[in-house]
Amino acid sequence: MKIFTFSKKEHICKRNEFKQLVLQGKSFYHFPFRCVYLIKPSNELQIKLGISIAKKNIKHAFQRNYIKRIIRESYRLNKFIIYESFENQPMELALLLIYTEKKQPTYNLIETSVKSLLNKVIKIDSRNQLKNTTINDN
């Protein structure tokens, strides 16, 4: 796996994947995103990302496309954070980042938010693993 790429395999493209993620996934809010995530068992580590921006919040398509572009770029540069922590765990992690603000953000705001959001996903997963091991030990 090349670290600083964002290939088609890492995108959530299909409508069914989005539906399953929204219906079955768990979510949390981290400014300016609502993050929906779903963890499934798999043979190898696979992390997929989807980005959504409501037309209601950002009216012009060129602004929505710009925001998506900087979100993808900041994820691409910082995805090593999540890949290093889940390195030996065979699972499929699907992330959906929903941009909730009504203003156009700066790149620095998006980058710091994406970094802290990835760290938060890691902490949430480690808490879930701790719960699962204590249940299995009894």
Q: Tell me: the pLDDT tens digits for 37-73?
A: 988 888 888 888 999 999 999 999 999 999 999 999 9
Sorted by where each begins, the domain ranges of the chain are 11-137
User: In the 8-state DSSP scheme, what is residue 11?
Assistant: B
Asked if 110 contacts 69 with a C-beta cutoff of 8 angstroms, the reply is no
Structure pTM?
0.83
Give the pLDDT band of residue 128 (cuts 50, 70, 90).
low
β 33-41/26-30 pair status:
antiparallel
Percent of all residues in the chain with a pLDDT value above 70, rounded to a whole number: 88
Considering the four listed CATH numbers 3.90.1150.10, 3.30.230.10, 3.40.50.720, 3.40.640.10, the one that applies to the domain covering 11-137 is 3.30.230.10
Asked if 109 contacts 32 with a C-beta cutoff of 8 angstroms, the reply is yes
